[in-house]
Structure 1
Amino acid sequence: MAQAWRCAGLRWVGAEPVLMWEGGRRSALPRGKRVAFGVMTGGVRTCVGARGNRCPTRAVVSGRSTGARCEECARLDRAHSVAADTIADDPRPYHVYLAWFGPGMVKVGITAVERGPARLLEQGAVCFSWLGRGPLMAARRAEELLRAALGVPDRIAYADKRVVRSALPEAGERAAEVAESHARAVALDGWPESLERVPCRTVDHAGVFGLDGLPGAYGVVSELVEGGTVGGTVLAVAGPDLHLATGRGVVVLDTRLMTGWELVAVEAGEQGEQEVLAVPVRELTRGGGDVQDGLF
């Protein structure tokens, strides 16, 4: 019987995407790598817990949930999240940033300075620039100022990010849009005095993600299911998303859907490439919420 591994999600280690497994194992995901896995027959997807702690009830969660947490663990995780605006006394310095995902798709956010660009890689930001640096509450006030004065959101749906990745403008156009938004932002009145403005220096992740020449995807995996299989060749990795070339065409797999499942390896010769993608796939369109050493 094939050994099963419980997925703990994708993590960006430096500028490299790595799938994590319960127990600390990891699998690198370089472009060109073939991945193939199956969901355990008779298995269920269980809550991944919160803040590094296991779910006390090992609750069963929906296959469509990107959070893979039960209601109680989701509440606990959110209560300790900087994004939830429940932490006010964090002494660490924070960056305010502008992230660009596609034409007209710029968002503002904050991240701890010590994390560097990790948050931008996790979100799949094609390019970004820092805007400011300072205490957490000053960074929060600046974020709110930009959202109100410039109409810049703090969230962009993954459905919208995915559909534009294969048709991005040239790097110069991307940088110009970031620079324009940056100039408008730093010219605003009302910046907190304790927040240092940072010059615009655009960092582009298209090469890191593998987006240059990326073919368009026809669909996105909507959920994993008991007994289902997924396989293909990695074309790009952006944020939590794998763009895979399969026998049915290019599909996007949000690796957050893998967490909480027990998965087994599928050998390359076991199934035809046409059959290895045996999970629900929906059309890739804009809009909508989503908001061994390893298997491969």
Structure 2
Amino acid sequence: MTTQPPAWRSTGLHWESGIPTLTVLPLPGNPADGERGRPAGVGHRFGWQLVGPRGCIGVWTVGRRVPCPVGAAIPQGVDAQCPSCAAADRGRALARDAVLGEDDRNWLLYLAWFGRGLVKIGLTAADRGQDRLLEQGAICYSLLAAGPFTAIRRTEQGIAQAGLARERISSRAKADAWWTLPDEHERAEQVEKAHAAITAVAWPSSLTPVGRADVRDLAVVYGLDQPPPGTYAEVTGLDEHADQAVLAGTVHAVVGRHLLLNTSAGPVLTDMRRLAGFSLAAVDAQTRPVGLHTSPRARPRHRHEDHSPLF
């Protein structure tokens, strides 16, 4: 299918200054230097042929991506780093609590809302701004406090242990909630209620509480001001012969690192982390998707409302 060797390797979907961006690294022989990106917002069209084998995408560090030094091959899945690059990734070390002592950046504690009963507590470096919330697919959020890393992390853990919010919410739970999002007013009320419950507890003196909830709603940014199609196919993997796989279409919604595409075969949802690491060749956006393993997803017949604050 490919008429010339691919020149780029996908590094996934990232949010840069509030803009969803498909990013790529040049392959050996490509004279381009460094990671590049193109917008992937609602209405954008693209077509990719995915060429294997899949390779490690390296490490993002000091404002740039460093390619994997050995060009390691990696298996399919949502993890696009080899063990060595994953171990060197500071962001993953922070997530594993493997960083000892302080991180000298400024840190924020936030409350993110993904749907009824889906409330998450989290932290982010202040210089990442809203992009951290966008990459998680938070429908709306409010900041809670600012301060040094260790105090922010301990407070995050304490709030989760007290049952006031979760530390993690699965991608499947987030996507299932898209069909039954309440209106913006009700979403804000739920965030404000959770915010009030959390801020009623004692705070470490080293943190600066934000005060009252200032709810930021992101549904329109994602294209979720209207529910997604009643049915769609979700990509769960690629055929073993990845050089026959094609994903092409027009972006219907982009939520976190997921793209919902209108394709010539119908709506298709994919976690772009599954595509990271594959080499890319351009195809027309009208090309029919092939070589993808998918599972059908459908809007629940009966709306399920869970009144538990967590589950």
TM bucket normalised to smaller = 0.7 to 0.9
Asked if the contact 1:234–1:245 (Cα under 8 Å) also holds between the matched residues in 2, the reply is yes
Name the structure 1 match of 2:18: 15
Is 1:194 the counterpart of 2:206? The answer is yes
1:199-230 Cα offsets, whole Å, 9 max, x none, are: 21000000111101132442211123411111
Q: Quote the residue 1:145 is aligned against.
A: 158
SS, match of residue 59 in structure 2: coil
**Alpha-carbon shift at residue 165 of structure 1 (Å):** 1.4
Work out whether residues 39 and 224 of structure 1, in 8 Å CA contact, stay in contact via their aligned partners in 2. no
Contact 1:39 1:262 in 2 (8 A): yes
Aligned to 2:81: 69
1:217 and 1:252 in contact (8 A); partners too: no
Q: Which residue of structure 1 aligns with residue 274 of structure 2?
A: 257
Q: Is the 8 A contact 1:160 1:285 kept in 2?
A: no
Structure 1 residues 15 and 59: alpha-carbon distance in aligned structure 2, compared to 1, 3 A threshold: same
Compute the displacement of 1:185 (Å): 0.2
Question: Deviation at 1:284?
Answer: 3.4
Give the 5 Å matches for 1:25-174: 25-40=36-51, 43-51=52-60, 52-63=65-76, 65-77=77-89, 81-87=93-99, 88-174=101-187
Offset, 1:151? 4.3
Partner of 1:212: 225
User: In structure 2, do the counterparts of structure 1 residues 92 and 25 end up closer, same or farther at CA, with 3 Å as the change threshold?
Assistant: closer
**1:224 maps to which residue?**
238
Residue-pair matches, total: 278
Distance in structure 1 (CA, Å) of the matches to 2:290 and 2:92 = 37
- Kindly provide the amino acid, as one letter, of the partner of residue 76 in structure 1: A
1:79/1:172 CA distance change after superposition, 3 Å: closer
Aligned-residue offset at 1:55: 2.5
Partner Cα distance (1:244, 1:32) in 2: 9
Query: Where has structure 1 moved over 6 Å in runs of 4 or more?
Result: none
In structure 1, what is the Cα distance between the partners aligned to 2:91 and 2:248? 36
Residues 36 and 276 in structure 1, CA contact (< 8 A), matched pair in contact too:
no
Q: Please state how far the C-alpha of 1:235 moved relative to its aligned partner.
A: 0.5
Deviations 1:35-70 (A, max 9, x none): 221112xx300111234433233222112x212112
| 1:242 is aligned to 2:259 | yes
Are the aligned partners of 1:159 and 1:285 in contact in 2 as well (CA < 8 Å)? no
Q: Which runs of 5+ in 2 are unaligned?
A: 26-33, 300-311
1 CA distance for matches of 2:135 and 2:92?
19
More displaced 10-residue stretch of structure 1: 23-32 or 136-145 = 23-32
Identity %: 38
Query: Which residue identity does 2:190 align to in structure 1?
Result: E
> How far apart, in 2, do the equivalents of 1:86 and 1:79 lie?
10
Shift of 1:196: 1.3
- Deviations 1:250-287, CA, capped at 9 Å, x for gaps: 22111111111101111246x4xxx334311123389x
Secondary structure of 2:237 counterpart: coil
Quickly say closer, same or farther: Cα 1:79–1:232, change in 2 above 3 A.
closer
Alpha-carbon distance in 1 for matches of 2:252, 2:298: 19
Amino acid at match of 1:280: H
Counterpart contact for 2:164–2:198, Cα < 8 Å: no
Consecutive unaligned residues in structure 1, runs of 5 or more: 287-296
- Is the CA contact (8 Å cut-off) linking 1:216 and 1:250 kept in structure 2? no
Scaled by the length of structure 1, the TM-score of the pair is 0.87
Aligned partners of 1:178 and 1:144: how far apart in 2? 19
Q: For 2:285 and 2:57, how far apart are their aligned partners in 1?
A: 29
Q: Which residue identity lines up with residue 222 of structure 1 in the other structure?
A: T
- Give the aligned CA root-mean-square deviation in angstroms: 2.0
1:47 is aligned with what amino acid?
C
Q: Is the 8 A contact 1:217 1:251 kept in 2?
A: no
Q: Deviations along 1:173-205, whole A, 9 cap, x unmatched?
A: 11111101000000013x211111112100000
- Give the 3-state SS of the residue equivalent to 2:53 in structure 1: coil
Give the TM-score normalised by the residue count of structure 2: 0.83
Letter in 1 for 2:265: R
Query: Are 2:288 and 1:279 aligned?
Result: no
